[in-house]
Structure 1
Amino acid sequence: MTEHVLSGTRGAIAVHGWSPPRPRCLALVVHGYGEHAGRYGELADVLTGHGAAVFAPDHMGHGRSAGERVAIEDFEDVVTDLHAVARLARAAHPRLPLVVIGHSMGGLIAARYAQRYGDTLAALVLSGPVIGGWELPGRLLAHEEIPAVPVSPAALSRDPAVGAAYAADELVWHGPMKRPTLEAFVRTLETVTEGGDIGTLPLLWLHGDDDRLVPLPGSRTGVERLSGGAATERIYPGARHEVFHETNRGEVFADVTRFLDSVLTA
């Protein structure tokens, strides 16, 4: 793994990189709320083993990047930062096709990225994406003071080791959500809803059917609107929010690499 530092829209952005000797494509991995890109080392290993050079930023206010913890006032800035990471990837490996893989909040960022820069992409992968109907921000904003309800580690995966590692990770935010970030979620959900579909760009949607953080039905409406009803979907029985860290992650990884093969062959 290599590490890079970019000048982002609101401060320094830490970027993790993994690369095989002769990559055949580029993959941007876009992490979720409160976590960081370092949690996706296993996914990166699978992707590099399949020929992808992987670049994964810590978003502003997350991980090793600058900014007040988990404070995002405008997700358009995060999308712009992600585009800077794409330029970094293309400078290192020119002319390779680019795939964006976004999880949870990262799915919202990736969806908006595809709306803004879809003509530069070969494919989009969304895992438990925060798009469509997600009620949590509205419920929390209704309170005068945001309730201090952190993410439950048990909601992430059926693998208890995943929850234990998450709870012990000092780079993960374990405090309450912040009002400006919740307000930015609401605005960006509306922006993606109104932003139109992504045309013929291939889209793979992954979701656990026991996802209690980002319930499947709400995401479905967003995915169908974004893809124009043409997404490839994989719904995993019993799986919780983080399918890349689930007990059946071997199946999930195989679905991703199979999808990438179909896109790259086409």
Structure 2
Amino acid sequence: MSTYQESWLLGPPIHQLLHPHLPLPPPPPPHAALVFIHGFIEHIARYDHVFSAFAARGITVFAYDQRGFGRTALDEGGRSKGSAYAKTSWREQLEDVEWAVGRVRRGEVPGCEGVPVFLYGHSMGGGLCLAFPTRTTRPPSPDTLSSISGIIATSPLLTATKPASKAVRWIGGKASVLAPSLTIPAEVAAEVLSHDPEVIKNNIDDPLIKRVGSLRGLSDMLDGGEKLLKEDHARWPKALPLLLIHGSDDQGTSCESTEEFYKKVTADDKTFSCYPGGYHELHNEPDGVKEKLIEECISWVEAKVKAKAAAGITITATPSSKL
């Protein structure tokens, strides 16, 4: 039996159609909600086992295929006009994050009325989650930001493990202004994602994964991560809890950069967890690693919910203008 509901929703004012998964709240009613942001050249159906584990512990997950990826880009019957694979930008992606958090905060997601809201992102999605409370261009509304009870980032893209040369980055940045939607190969080898052969095979055979990126999407993603590490970390709200998790053998995104961000960030409540030998997708690693990762994330959320309850903090779904 499916653990989630699927539907097409009209997203932010740019009228992008997003494809969310809404896990069915198990009894008793959920005590927390999680907005999940997936990574580069992937989609949310790859996280069904993660979402199910959260739902089984009373945490409802709201997730969607980001613009430019998954069914949001490739579903001929549901995608919006003008949508194409990899066609995206950080501005639009961050607007979508605010749209998603706003839906949950306003009680528009079934079962999430009045519960604490958490934000969780992986890889590219992890970078977006870290940028969400710190960006200077169109920052989130105070109501939206104050409604987030904590942020989780696994294997966040701050810098690549093997960065492109400065010359290539400079040329790519200039080209992204002239032809933002032009796509180029983005060879993310499936073999470096997980030690599990089945995960590797499924990734290679997945019809919703295309190994290309747009010039604007790639430029924004790489520049944004570096800016987070260099300066934007200083704007982190001190009262916003943060959980950072990374595998030491990640060949896609840099574990060292995540640890550096952890040391620099100004959060009063922050945790950095390194998984020795772990590859990029810790949630897909074998030999008990994925179970450990999922349990760490769920337990962290549960601890923050209990702390709020002990402090007598109540959360209410407040109406606000739609994003």
- TM-score past 0.5 threshold: yes
Q: 2:252 aligns with which of 213, 228, 236?
A: 213
- Answering whether residue 181 of structure 2 is matched by residue 181 of structure 1, we say no
Equivalent of 1:51 in 41, 49, 58: 58
The question of whether the paired residues in 2 share the 8 Å contact of 1:132 and 1:223 is answered with no
CA distance in 1: counterparts of 2:291 and 2:266, whole angstroms: 26
Give the counterpart of 1:15 among 20, 24, 32.
Answer: 20
- Residue 4 of structure 1 aligns with which residue? 7
Q: CA separation in 1, counterparts of 2:237 and 2:253?
A: 22
TM-score normalized by structure 2?
Answer: 0.75
Tell me which residue corresponds to 1:99. 118
RMSD across aligned positions (CA): 2.4
Q: Output the CA distance in 2 between the equivalents of 1:198 and 1:131.
A: 19
Matches within 5 A, 1:1-266: 1-9=4-12, 10=14, 11-21=16-26, 22-66=29-73, 67-73=83-89, 75-89=90-104, 90-92=107-109, 93-115=112-134, 116=140, 117-131=144-158, 136=163, 140-141=168-169, 148-174=185-211, 176-189=212-225, 192-193=228-229, 194-195=231-232, 196-228=235-267, 230-247=269-286, 248-266=289-307
- Per-residue deviation, residues 49-68 of structure 1 (Å, max 9, x unmatched): 11111111111011111422
Going from structure 1 to structure 2, the CA distance change for 1:30 and 1:227 (only over 3 Å counts) comes to farther
The number of aligned residues is 264
Moved more, 125-134 or 102-111: 125-134
How far, CA to CA, are the matches of 2:5 and 2:25 in structure 1? Answer: 12
Query: Deviation at 1:221?
Result: 2.2
Q: Tell me the TM-score normalised to structure 1 length.
A: 0.90
Residue 123 of structure 2 aligns with an amino acid whose one-letter code is S
Residues 64/138 of structure 1: CA separation in 2 closer, same or farther (3 Å cut):
farther
* Gap change, CA 1:235 and 1:229, over 3 Å in 2: farther
Give the letter aligned to residue 178 of structure 1: S
SS of equivalent to 1:213: coil
**CA displacement, residues 28-77 of structure 1 (integer Å, 9 cap, x when unaligned):** 1110000001111011011001111111111101111142211223x122
In the TM superposition, what is the alpha-carbon distance from 1:229 to its structure 2 partner?
A: 7.4
Change in 2 beyond 3 A, CA 1:132/1:201: farther
Letter in 2 for 1:124: I
Given that residues 97 and 121 in structure 1 are in contact (C-alpha distance below 8 angstroms), is that contact kept between their aligned partners in structure 2? yes
CA drift of 1:126 comes to 0.6
Distance 2:86 2:121 in 1: 17
Deviates more, 1:149-158 or 1:136-145: 136-145
> Which one has the largest radius of gyration?
2
Give the Cα–Cα distance (whole angstroms) in 1 for the partners of residues 207 and 157 of structure 2. 24
1:95-131 CA-partner distances (Å, limit 9, x unpaired): 1100111000001111122333431111111100012
Contact 1:31 1:37 (8 Å CA) reproduced: yes
The 1:149–1:6 alpha-carbon spacing in structure 2 relative to 1, beyond 3 Å, is: closer
Aligned-residue offset at 1:188:
2.2
Alpha-carbon shift at residue 5 of structure 1 (Å): 2.2
Give the gaps of 5 or more residues in structure 2: 74-82, 135-139, 176-182, 308-323
In structure 1, distance between residues paired with 2:276 and 2:220: 31
Structure 1 residue 8 displacement after superposition:
3.0
Which residue type is aligned with residue 231 of structure 1? K
**Residues in 2 aligned to 1:87 and 1:230: alpha-carbon distance in whole angstroms:** 24
Q: Distance in 1 between matches of 2:97 and 2:129?
A: 9
5+ residue gaps in structure 1?
none
Contact in 1 for aligned 2:243/2:271 (Cα 8 Å): yes
Amino acid at match of 2:276: P
Could you tell me which amino acid in structure 2 is paired with residue 177 of structure 1? G
